Amino acid sequence: MPETATPPSLEQLQARTSDLERERRHLVTLVDILQEVSGTLNFVDIMQTITQKLGETFGLDRCSIFLAERGGETARLVASYEDPGIRNYVVDLTRYPELKRSLDSGETVYIPDAQADPNLKHIRGALASRNVKTITVVPITWRRVAIGAIFLRTDRDGAAFSEQDIAFSQAVASLAAKALRVVYRYERLLKRHAEQSELARRAERERIALIAYLRRLMEGAAERHGQQVDEELGRSVMDELDRLVDITMAVLAEEGKGR
């Protein structure tokens, strides 16, 4: 007789239910982030949205986004879940060795017990006073270079990060990198357009100045020699000159329209 499959235990069913619930939260959060960031090209709004959604989803003690700076000794805090008012704040990476390690290596750093980690012994007292449990730093990379990182911290009352949570955070970091790239290209386009507009305005001012100069020159010449010119050229020549001037002005008008 074929063997009868053993039905899953209550613990297995509960574990599976928990996994499905976690996946559902991840998908809902990802959809929320996509909807939020797709509606804006404002860099600060995008970063703040990501930290807020991650903080709410995981019930984090802290969630921040840092962007790397040249030299590798400092990073710039650009968004914070626990205090949205903190922006554009430069931090010394010697105080955040886990953040520096992630930025230097381009890899995720996960510390399951921050207070027991030897690399964080210099701030162990502060971690204990804040009841910190885990720290996860996920790099934001572009073309295999870490341009920033998402810093996530839980307290001892919250759930520790699972492998699925870390994988989800990495997916969000990838999304953040793409959003930053779009914003960068958009800002470059705006700058280029502004530069072209300035060149066009400068050319227009030069054209107006040249026309004003020629007009004053012709008016001065007409005051001196106008009567003599009319007498020597005759009416037919003057009519032809008027016709040529009309044609020239029509051509200039069409050129001004970009045709």
Indicate whether 94 belongs to any domain.
yes
Indicate whether 154 belongs to any domain.
yes
Q: Is 77 in a helix, a strand, or coil?
A: strand
What six digits make up the tokens of 97?
Answer: 């060795």
How much is the pTM? 0.68
What six digits make up the tokens of 143?
Answer: 């073309």
User: How far lies 89's CA from each of 75, 79, 80, 112, in Å?
Assistant: 8, 9, 10, 27
Residue 159 Cα to chain centre, angstroms: 31
CA distance 140 to 146: 6
CATH number of the domain bearing residue 142: 3.30.450.40
CA distance 19 to 203: 65
**pLDDT value for 232:** 60
Indicate whether 257 belongs to any domain.
no
Indicate whether 186 belongs to any domain.
yes
CA distance 30 to 179: 13
Indicate whether 242 belongs to any domain.
no
**Range of the structural domain that residue 63 is part of:** 11-191
What's the domain count of the chain? 1
**pLDDT value for 215:** 76
Backbone angles phi, psi at 86, to 5 degrees: -85, 115
**pLDDT value for 92:** 93
CB-neighbour burial class of residue 12 (10 A; exposed 0-12, middle 13-18, buried 19+) = exposed
**pLDDT value for 147:** 92
Query: Mean pLDDT across the chain, nearest whole number?
Result: 81
The Cβ of residue 57 has, within 10 Å, a number of other Cβ atoms equal to 21
**pLDDT value for 1:** 47
Indicate whether 135 belongs to any domain.
yes
Indicate whether 234 belongs to any domain.
no
pLDDT < 50 regions, the chain: 1
DSSP 118-185: GGGGGGHHHHHHTTEEEEEEEEEEETTEEEEEEEEEEETTSPPPPHHHHHHHHHHHHHHHHHHHHHHH
Indicate whether 240 belongs to any domain.
no
**pLDDT value for 204:** 78
